[in-house]
Chain A
């Protein structure tokens, strides 16, 4: 069965550079969530989209932006990268909003390293 696809799996950037992470949800899933997991930390919710509209916002820095496109894939854009942005970025998708009624399925993550 198709899973949540994230690309790239690994990304190395310099400080102040820009990075873009992509997430392709499970077919027919219309909701996408982005989480950031720093070393030794819990996954922190960043932002979510339902039917291409932002549905919730968490601890996402102003330097980051995201959107969901007409084909339901999502991109997380990170600018003016800082060392502290080095983390594992997970994308998850579900059909319909909700962690309860519809279990989130996670991708394998994109590891960003900022040098």
Chain B
């Protein structure tokens, strides 16, 4: 059973516009959420995280929003840049000392 779901396998966004990647989770014990970015032939790279005690965390062009009641989080990238083209994995853990569970990923294409 998929505990972390990314229902959009791919997303195309015009350069300069906002990219919004969505993620849903089923395990109510999850209390820490992360986004990882992956380029071809490289391992996933940590991008941004959010604790369940917050509903928003911002780092430069990247903002993660968490809606605990809906068990939903999203990653906003604004403005989108060509180098943002990659696969984005949503991940979650049940506590800060636990393994992380990944979603299937969303491939983001930034169009010129």
Contacts and interface: CB of A to CB of B under 8 A. Distances in A.
Asked if A and B bind, the verdict is yes
B75 to A, nearest CB: 16
Contact of B43 (A58, A99, A100, A109): A109
B100 A99 contact: yes
Given A42-B89, A42-B104, A106-B44, A99 B4 contact: no
Interface of A: 4, 33, 35, 40-45, 48, 56, 58, 90, 92, 97-101, 103-109
Chain B interface size range = 20 to 34
21 contacts: A41-B104, A42-B2, A42-B89, A42-B103, A43-B89, A43-B102, A44-B102, A56-B98, A56-B99, A58-B99, A90-B44, A97-B97, A98-B96, A99-B32, A99-B91, A99-B96, A100-B95, A100-B96, A103-B34, A103-B49, A109-B42
**CB-CB nearest 6 A-B residue pairs:** A100-B96, A106-B43, A100-B32, A99-B100, A42-B104, A98-B97
B9 to A, nearest CB: 9
A104 B2 CA distance: 21
Contacts, number: 64
A97 B98 CA distance: 7
A104 B100 contact: yes
Nearest to A33: B99
Nearest to A50: B97
Contacts of B97: 97-98, 100-101
Contacts of B89: 42-43
B27 interface: no
Contacts of B44: 43, 90, 106
A92 B34 CA distance: 15
A48 B44 CA distance: 17
A38 to B, nearest CB: 11
Contacts of B67: none
